[in-house]
Amino acid sequence: MGGPVEGTTGQNPPPVFIDGNGQGNTGQTAPPPDIQPRVEKQDLAQFFDETPIPSPSKGPKTPEGTPPPADSGDSDNLGNLPASDAAAISIPEVVPEESEALPTGFKEVLAVFFYPEGSEEILELVFSKFQEVIKKHKLKFRLKRVQSEPYPTKGKVNYTSFVDVCKNAKVPVAIVIGPPPNVHFPQQDFYDLLTVTLDVQGISLQLINWSEVSKDYRYLNLSLDIALVKGK
């Protein structure tokens, strides 16, 4: 989504989408409002780190008679998140290793995270999911959150403020968490106006629908788009 970003050709190849089963599908249209550009399968290799990860060392044995620690469960069990349950989620803290030097061949992409006001815990969930997916799939870039900015869910939305925040922070990517279902304005209008506003300014919009904040495949699709953005 958004106009051509510096570092890309500006021409959209046939799209590749990752569905909920982790399968790639070419030539299919993503559900609105997701109209993010995709890359060819054969071009994806350049964005992945093929360095093998060493096996973790075995920890101390559990004494006999001691029950094993309870499994915390997978984060995908959150399912479709109702707005009323947003405050009840426990978000694991994920701290990006920003102080470490970038590995050879990696780049750092700066982004502003926009979220509905009052949804700070959802913001942290989204940020942690990005970090988990980038690490899991060995994508060769570091996503750095420069700023977190709330937007109102009541009254009018100032769409140009999204551009102003990104330009003041000097970042090429806006990661936007879509509004919850109980907002006081049409959600489709929000998507359409935000897309046009950021597109004409050359800012890459990466939009996460409220109902998809717990879906790993959504973060993989967006991360592949972000990998195309010119980094530092």
Domains of the chain and any CATH numbers: 16-50+78-226 (3.40.50.2300)
- pLDDT higher than threshold 70 for residue 83: no
Residue scoring higher pLDDT (60 or 218): 218
Q: Give per-residue pLDDT as tens, 29-63.
A: 444 454 444 555 455 555 566 665 555 555 555 55
Q: pTM for the full model?
A: 0.61
d(CA 39, CA 116) in angstroms, rounded, equals: 30
Question: Is 189 within 8 Å of 156 (Cβ atoms)?
Answer: no
CA angle (38, 205, 87) in 5-degree steps: 110
Mean pLDDT of 98-113: 86
pLDDT of residue 184: 81
pLDDT of residue 144 exceeding 70: yes
For 160-180, write each residue's pLDDT tens digit: 999 999 999 999 999 999 999
CA distance 203 to 205: 6
Mean pLDDT over the full length of the chain = 75
* Predicted pLDDT of residue 78: 41
pLDDT at 91 over 50: no
Q: Are 203 and 109 in contact (CB under 8 A)?
A: no
Examine the pLDDT at 95 and tell me if it is beyond 50. no
Whether the bond between 56 and the residue before it is cis, its omega within 30 degrees of 0, is no
Q: Check: CB of residue 136 under 8 Å from CB of residue 103.
A: no
Higher pLDDT, 156 or 125: 125
Angle at 118 (CA atoms; ends 113, 124), nearest 5 degrees: 45
Task: Tell me the C-alpha distance between 68 and 14, whole Å.
Answer: 48
The secondary structure of residue 212, as a DSSP letter, is G
Q: Is the pLDDT of residue 218 over 50?
A: yes
For position 104, what pLDDT does the model report?
87
> Given this model, what pLDDT does residue 50 score?
61
- Which of 30-34, 129-133, 172-176, 188-192 comes out lowest in average pLDDT? 30-34
Residue pair 193/1 in contact (Cβ under 8 Å)? The answer is no
Average pLDDT over residues 103-132: 95
**Cα–Cα nearest to 228, from 18, 41, 47, 11:** 47
Output the pLDDT for position 38.
52
What's the confidence (pLDDT) of residue 80? 44
Q: Average pLDDT for residues 102-108, to the nearest whole number?
A: 89
DSSP string, 77-128: GG-S--GGGGGGPPPPP----TTSPPPTT-EEEEEEEEEETT-HHHHHHHHH
